[in-house]
Amino acid sequence: MFIRLLILASVLVCGTVQAVEVPSPLEQDRGKFRPLVVFARADSDQTLSSLKKALEDPANRQGFEARNMVLYTIVGITGKRDGKDLEPQSTMSLIRGLKPGMIIDNKAKVILIGKDGEKKNETVGEADLNALFKTIDEMPVAEKEAQASATVETPDKASAPGKAAASGKSARPVKPAKPLED
């Protein structure tokens, strides 16, 4: 009897020591991408299929990529990142990290996460891609990135005849603003 308890205790201790927590895939995207996570019960979910169909449109796909977004889909307990399968441990870590709760009335849950790793928008049911784009565009970091990517006046353009004299200022290039995190 004592030997059985000893074996059981050693198995339990060894099993818990070997269980390693896998970091969430969202940690790898922090500061680089804005994850859009869709939790659904089945691949045939209306919200999931409408989002995928909207992303097939080249204009929507370009807007999605321009905003540094990445699509995570969790169907049941199977996860994908931009159509590529995630490991089961990574999928479970993602689910535990976001704590989506129950999917009610078979409606998908859509969560938009900022570059800072915080939830920015959470909807149940239909999610409009243009509304998500608008949410991102209203974020302070998105505004700073837009300013930084704006065309900056170069010295050779500024030294055009009459350009510097008309403005009354010296023609110096403008440094782009440093983008901040969400």
For residue 29, give the CATH number of its domain.
3.40.30.10
Q: What is the pLDDT of residues 85-105, one digit of tens each?
A: 899 898 888 888 887 776 656
Is residue 153 domain-resident?
no
Per the structure, the complete domain to which residue 125 belongs is given by: 16-144
pLDDT, one tens digit per residue, over 117-138 is: 888 888 888 888 888 888 888 8
The full DSSP string for the chain is: -HHHHHHHHHHHHHHHHH--PPPPHHHHHTTT-EEEEEEESSTT-HHHHHHHHHHHSHHHHHHHHHTTEEEEEEETTEEEETTEEPPHHHHHHHHHHH-----GGG--EEEEE-TTS-EEEEEES---HHHHHHHHHTSHHHHHHHHHHSPPPPHHHHTSTTHHHHHTS---PPPPPPPPP-
Q: Based on the structure, what is the number of domains in the chain?
A: 1
Q: What is the pLDDT of residues 23-33, one digit of tens each?
A: 788 888 888 89
Tell whether 157 is covered by a domain. Answer: no
Domain assignment present for residue 171? The answer is no
pLDDT tens digits, one per residue of 5-29 = 667 777 666 654 444 567 788 888 8
Please check whether residue 165 lies inside any domain of the structure.
Answer: no
Q: Is the pTM of this model over 0.85?
A: no
pLDDT value of position 35: 92
In a domain, 4, yes or no: no
User: For residue 30, is it within any domain?
Assistant: yes
135 lies in some domain? yes
